[in-house]
Amino acid sequence: GVSQRSINSFFAPK
């Protein structure tokens, strides 16, 4: 099935 990714798996902390 599809799973919800989290936003910080795409954008790294600055």
Partner 1 sequence: MFEGRLLQGSLLKKVLEAIKDLVTDTNFDCSETGIALQAMDSSHVALVSLLLKDTGFDHFRCDRNLALGINLQNMSKMLKCAGNDDIITLKAEDEGDTITFMFESPNQDKISDFEMKLMDIDSEHLGIPDTDYQAIVTMPSAEFQRIVRDLSSIGDTAVIGVTKEGISFSTGGDIGKANIVCRQNTNVDKEEDQTTVEIHEPVSLTFALRYLNSFTKATALSPQVTLSLSKELPIVVEYKIEKMGFLRFYLAPKIEE
Residue numbers 1-14 binding partner 1 by CB under 8 A? 1-14
| Least separation in angstroms between CB 1 and partner 1 | 6
Size of the site for partner 1 (CB under 8 A): 14
Residue 14: strand, helix, or coil: coil
| Least separation in angstroms between CB 12 and partner 1 | 6
Q: Is 10 exposed, middle or buried (0-12, 13-18, 19+ CB in 10 A)?
A: exposed
Tokens of 3: 């799973």
Which residues of this chain interact with partner 1, rule CB under 8 A? 1-14
